[in-house]
Structure 1
């Protein structure tokens, strides 16, 4: 019997917008969404789908550094430079795919729709077996009114019949040769979406029922809504604790929470002896029930001699991400008489947040003494304790 070969299907993620309506310092696709950039969540949704062969992203080259950070480790091909409009950006992306060896199918998706689900992706792909195009869409449920004033505001001028009306979303999927030709023919025009480009070329486009959660992040309120949606899906909440101690030795600085702090002693240890990061690493590993720092980075292994403890903490954070979870909060307490931690607390929190890839508002760094009692009171060393809260899929 002949072998049935599955069609190649590339997801083209459009991430070239500036996000001016959002009002942030960077485009919304690079903002944090529950511990990951919006763009990364979008890309991962397609990479994890069994029917998607690969992902290519169209970006504004001015934000290449932010893009590289957002998709680090995902193994994507170089991004495509976008154009002056979304339509231009999509056409650039399609031309790049054609140059690479055209796929059978293409799914065109907004980077700012990070909550797209696997079922909708599969449904759009499935519809392309019988039609040249298919788009995710939601039927209009609200009563529609036409306004009489400028921009449509003012008094009601009439009620619009909502029968048969749908709100278009993405992905919008097409058989590749047809949509490439349609986009080339529409160059220079201003059409609202890729389905409109296909319609103009006479291509039939099917409507595939989607979900309300597949909304586009356009405003800060939208990002808050998306964060709540992600967090509500991670209902397995876990807490872990960690504790670490290092004695003083000769030196002129100590490493605490990723920072070099001047001091009249150093800290003795196989790595950089960062008690803060060691305690926090153990806290995260504890929340995962994944052993302790010594089981992942044995002190007998020469590879970790003098190592930056940020590597250990990043490893623990990656284990959480590999489980589909997020780090909700990290709390570190440094216990010592000297050096004074207070002047460095804000910078320490920033550094921990950077390593973990979370908002600094989810990190707390505190310090206390033991009122000159015990080994820390005698200034023989430094201790740290930490608590980490993570959220995992149920």
Structure 2
């Protein structure tokens, strides 16, 4: 298991995403197959359900390790999804096999973290609650990290119950439950790993429905924060229909609340051809060229323009201020490092990258044959879905330095959204 250091002074957090269920209460097939598709692998808003939780955790600044717990025989399918959608974060995601029950699956996840030597907070989350937002994670972490209660081991999101509650036996009402004293528990549920791990090591029975109940059964204190209705759980087919609408209405934009702070940055860069032979590096891939590009780094004009677009959207200088050409450590450097840094700056500022648009301006070399490979490489570096990345090419109709084949220019636009507070 690999992990990366958190980018703030807050405690390190590991996530366990439980996605090992068979989803028998939600039977559905697609148009081309007759077998049952577990709900965690069904499409929701244009991507598999598990991608939503992975997206939330991989892009949170305090999450340094993720355990994805899947059912036996689902490991290869889960790995393919991570490779496709989360190549940039694959080093912090580990796939393990779950058990016959949720409690067994969580226990396997906790054991993996303990064996890796992780010591921090653990967020245990059901993949069946896909629309997790960063503000919920922030509140959970802040509450547990700042609590003065020495005996507090965890905190969970809850919602007040609005319906009248009845106790039923054989279809007859046998009692009325006071809804003012009841709340609906949600996930993720955040705990101090050493406290919850000890409970799972000695679990006596499997009929406990969530991690907070396990802690409470041991006499430990668990606090609550206000949850959000968008964290509803996929259980029945009609739930899927509701969440499909919610995801398309805004869930596919991580953490965009009612007051959206969307910003756009532009980037432009130029590099000239030199006397040395090619190939050249464009958008992170090698492209055959008679001559190489003159630059202090590898001369990747496409990635440089994307960096400046992101820095512009952040109002955070330009590529030269972050990686000055006077500094020898950047000589012949791989520009993927620059773009990776720009992406991290966005995450540190709690800004989500919504879209990247790049235009390469040159008479030579031909870009179109390489366009898809360029988009794929940019997706790997940034962690974005390839559908959010555009690479285009044009010529200057023989005019100017690009028209005379003296060099290549690139123009980029980046759209980001600052993740403000969201109402529940």
Task: Give the TM-score of the pair, scaled to structure 2.
Answer: 0.67
* Aligned residue number for residue 261 of structure 2: 236
Q: Alignment length, in residue pairs?
A: 362
How far residue 252 of structure 1 moved from its aligned partner, in angstroms, is 3.4
* Aligned residue number for residue 152 of structure 1: none
What aligned pairs does 1:276-355 form with structure 2 within 5 A after superposition? 276-355=302-381
Change (3 A) 1:345 1:145: farther
How far residue 294 of structure 1 moved from its aligned partner, in angstroms, is 1.7
- The reply to whether residue 22 of structure 1 matches residue 40 of structure 2 is yes
Change (3 A) 1:368 1:32: farther
Gaps of 5+ in 2: 1-10, 22-37, 235-239
* Aligned residue number for residue 104 of structure 2: 88
How far residue 284 of structure 1 moved from its aligned partner, in angstroms, is 1.6
Post-superposition Cα deviations, 1:342-367, rounded to whole Å, max 9, x if no partner, equal: 11111111211221221112211111
Q: CA RMSD in A?
A: 4.6
- The reply to whether residue 208 of structure 1 matches residue 221 of structure 2 is no
How far residue 183 of structure 1 moved from its aligned partner, in angstroms, is 4.5
Corresponding residue SS for 1:230: coil
What aligned pairs does 1:93-104 form with structure 2 within 5 A after superposition? none
- The reply to whether residue 360 of structure 1 matches residue 386 of structure 2 is yes
Of the candidates 136, 159, 164, which is equivalent to residue 138 of structure 1?
159
CA contact (8 A) 2:166 2:177 kept: no
CA contact (8 A) 2:279 2:288 kept: yes
How far apart, in 1, do the equivalents of 2:116 and 2:288 lie? 54
* Aligned residue number for residue 153 of structure 1: none
Change (3 A) 1:329 1:87: same
CA contact (8 A) 1:246 1:273 kept: yes
Change (3 A) 1:27 1:70: farther
Change (3 A) 1:169 1:306: same
CA contact (8 A) 1:128 1:174 kept: no
* Aligned residue number for residue 273 of structure 2: 248
Of the candidates 159, 170, 189, which is equivalent to residue 206 of structure 2?
189
How far residue 196 of structure 1 moved from its aligned partner, in angstroms, is 3.8
Change (3 A) 1:217 1:360: farther
How far residue 87 of structure 1 moved from its aligned partner, in angstroms, is 1.2
Gaps of 5+ in 1: 1-8, 48-54, 148-155
CA contact (8 A) 1:331 1:365 kept: yes
Change (3 A) 1:89 1:186: same
How far residue 238 of structure 1 moved from its aligned partner, in angstroms, is 2.0
Post-superposition Cα deviations, 1:225-244, rounded to whole Å, max 9, x if no partner, equal: 54446022773322222222
How far apart, in 2, do the equivalents of 1:382 and 1:132 lie? 58
How far apart, in 2, do the equivalents of 1:246 and 1:10 lie? 41
How far residue 368 of structure 1 moved from its aligned partner, in angstroms, is 0.7
How far residue 200 of structure 1 moved from its aligned partner, in angstroms, is 5.4
Task: Give the TM-score of the pair, scaled to structure 1.
Answer: 0.71
What aligned pairs does 1:6-155 form with structure 2 within 5 A after superposition? 13-18=15-20, 20-23=38-41, 31=51, 37-41=55-59, 44=62, 58-60=67-69, 70=89, 83-84=98-99, 85-91=101-107, 109-110=124-125, 112=127, 113-115=132-134, 116-119=136-139, 135-142=156-163
How far apart, in 2, do the equivalents of 1:176 and 1:247 lie? 54
* Aligned residue number for residue 186 of structure 2: 169
Change (3 A) 1:212 1:159: farther
- Range with greater deviation from structure 2 (177-186 or 301-310): 177-186
CA contact (8 A) 1:128 1:173 kept: no
How far apart, in 2, do the equivalents of 1:285 and 1:303 lie? 21
Change (3 A) 1:157 1:314: same
* Aligned residue number for residue 410 of structure 2: 384
How far apart, in 2, do the equivalents of 1:100 and 1:380 lie? 53
How far apart, in 1, do the equivalents of 2:154 and 2:340 lie? 42
How far residue 264 of structure 1 moved from its aligned partner, in angstroms, is 2.3
- Range with greater deviation from structure 2 (114-123 or 278-287): 114-123
How far apart, in 2, do the equivalents of 1:287 and 1:371 lie? 30
Corresponding residue SS for 1:232: coil
Q: Which has the larger radius of gyration?
A: 1
